[in-house]
Structure 1
Amino acid sequence: MSNSFLDTLKTRRSQYALGKNLPLPQEDVTALIQEAIKLSPSSFNSQSSRAVILYASQSDKFWGFVKDELRKIVPADAFAATEAKIDSFAAGAGTVLFYEDQEVVAGLQQQFPSYAENFPIWSEQASGIAQFAVWSALANAGIGASLQHYNPLPDAAVAAEWNLPASWKLRAQMPFGSNEGAFGEKSFIDDTQRFRVFA
């Protein structure tokens, strides 16, 4: 089957060998990320997803916060491997921090009480869609990325450093940059384990 959208999805892979040489100007990358999030669907068109886009030293600062927090909980004799992993994320050109605005979620719960218990779930789904949209858009532009989840370790330091609203809840982090390494083969389980089709 030939489908340009599916072809784009095939380019989205986890890239851990990141560099700082973006194929697009920084302002174009920012616009790409913003547009991908704006076009991502959300329940009741709530648009609860938020993003902080960090470049260069600001991105380095974020990964420094993560490293500082990990140093408190990772045994000293095992920290070298952890530090190398964090440094590989900081080696990229930037990082997208994905947030969900809990004020939006709470407002929907009050407005539609019969669906109240579902709005936090739908918020998480909206965040996942936004993350996937950004990742795919970056891949389509020739920019490598991976998705990380070090929250809630650096949350307080990050919120203080960039003066973020208290209602923003950090959900994921996406370091991105130039592709400095090859992608490994992606394997798939058998379709019969994942799908049921009835016609």
Structure 2
Amino acid sequence: MPSKAAQFLETLAARRTIYALKPELPANVELQNVRDAVQEIIKHTPTCFNSQGNRAVILTGESHKCVWDHVYKTIPIEAYKTRPLSARDEALGTVVFLVNDAKTKEMQEAFPAWSDLFPEFVAHSSGSAQISAWTALELLGFGAHLQHFNELVKDALPKDTVKEEWKVQGQLVFGLPVTGPIEKSFMENEVPLLE
């Protein structure tokens, strides 16, 4: 396999969910490095019809703690409070992924034949941005895990930064890893090559 492809696949395969984090930066990494990586990913992630509806906000410090405290206090099921509490207290920050719903509606009106499919197209693009950002943060030395407390997070985001028409798609919680990932098992899922 060509070396660039092998390096890419090795990096992608090494990405894992890491919950045990601490609110610190890896050596020689600054928050600006996180911002720069996420900015490039949002800019270059493909979108349907080049609609460019992906958005992101990076929360650290008090904004990070405030959002996760809101989720912790608001979530109605006690069994689901553990993850928001650990995100609040043990992580350094969160990348909140959003999409521009106004742009999605605009695309639905412009291309009525695909109208019902646009929310799915948008979710695919957001997912691409999320996995790319997750992998990039791991290359910077962070551990991370992906959460989906979407509406609760949206309610706590600063209204002067996050527009009403932006819909939350996921939250990538990151920090310095305390432990490595758990071993991952794989099911058989051979990809056929048809000629």
Q: TM-score by structure 2 length?
A: 0.89
- Answering whether residue 55 of structure 2 is matched by residue 57 of structure 1, we say no
Unaligned runs of 5+ in 1: none
How far the C-alpha of 1:30 sits from its partner, in A, is 0.9
Equivalent-residue separation in structure 2 for 1:11 and 1:22 (angstroms): 20
The aligned residue for residue 23 of structure 2 is 20
Paired residue total: 189
Alignment of 1:6-155 (within 5 A): 6-23=9-26, 24-70=29-75, 73-74=76-77, 79=78, 82-90=80-88, 91-155=90-154
Q: How far did 1:163 drift?
A: 4.7
- The equivalent residue for 1:171 is 169
Tell me by how many angstroms 1:123 deviates: 0.6
Q: Is the 8 A contact 1:69 1:154 kept in 2?
A: no
- Rounded Cα–Cα distance in structure 2 between residues aligned with 1:163 and 1:9: 31
Inter-partner Cα distance in structure 1 for 2:135 and 2:43: 14
Residues in 1 aligned to 2:177 and 2:49: alpha-carbon distance in whole angstroms? 37
Percent identical: 35
Equivalent residues of 2:66, 2:156 under 8 A apart: no
**SS of 1:126 mapped into structure 2:** helix
Give per-residue Cα distances to partners, 1:74-109, cap 9 Å, x unaligned: 2xxxx3x64443222121110011111111111111
Q: Which whole-Å CA distance do the structure 2 matches of 1:52 and 1:168 have between them?
A: 11
Distance between the aligned counterparts of 2:155 and 2:177, measured in 1? 31
Aligned residue number for residue 198 of structure 1: 194
Aligned letter for 2:163? P
SS of 1:177's equivalent in the other structure is: strand
Deviations 1:119-173 (A, max 9, x none): 111111111011011011111111111100112234223254x552111011111
Q: Which amino acid aligns with 1:175?
A: V
**Per the alignment, in what secondary structure is the counterpart of residue 56 of structure 2?**
strand
SS at match of 1:198: coil
RMSD (Å), alpha carbons: 1.7
Distance of 1:122 and 1:63 partners within structure 2? 28
Counterpart-to-counterpart distance in 2, 1:124 and 1:159? 23
